Amino acid sequence: MTCSVKLAPKARDDLKRLYAYMLERDEEAATRAYYAIEKAMATLAQFPFSCRRAAGDDAFLRELLIPFGSSGYVALFEIEDSDAVTILAVRRQREDDYH
């Protein structure tokens, strides 16, 4: 199964926010974090069902864990159908929840 991976507008905003946050602290780490997130999201094209289910009963709403540094990131995504996955939100694992 190969499907397209799309970013919802909210997820794009999240990525910009996370990059800006890291950029203020360490430019090299910000670039590495961005590429780690990008690489992890690309795996969803092949293996979307390998990720854990998000809270609730919807089997198509899932979370991708993205390791980076001492914690990492979490991407909330929805498997639309056999051809498409939409990333809905991205946050640092130390954040309280998706916005």
Residue 97 lies in a domain: no
Number of domains in the chain: 1
Let me know: does 49 contact 70? Beta carbons within 8 Å.
no
Let me know: does 87 contact 81? Beta carbons within 8 Å.
no
Q: Which residue has the tokens 């919807």?
A: 58
pLDDT by residue (tens digit) across 25-81? 999 999 999 999 999 999 999 998 889 898 888 889 999 999 998 889 999 999 998
Question: Which pLDDT score, from 0 to 100, does residue 69 have?
Answer: 85
Instruction: Name the residue range of residue 71's domain.
Output: 4-92
Give 98's pLDDT tier (boundaries 50, 70, 90).
low
Taking the CA atoms of 45, 50, 54 and 59 in sequence, report the sign of the dihedral they define. positive
Count of helices and strands (H, E) across the chain: 2, 5
Let me know: does 63 contact 39? Beta carbons within 8 Å.
no
Residue 99 lies in a domain: no
Residue 54 lies in a domain: yes
Residue 67 is part of a domain; what is its CATH number? 3.30.2310.20
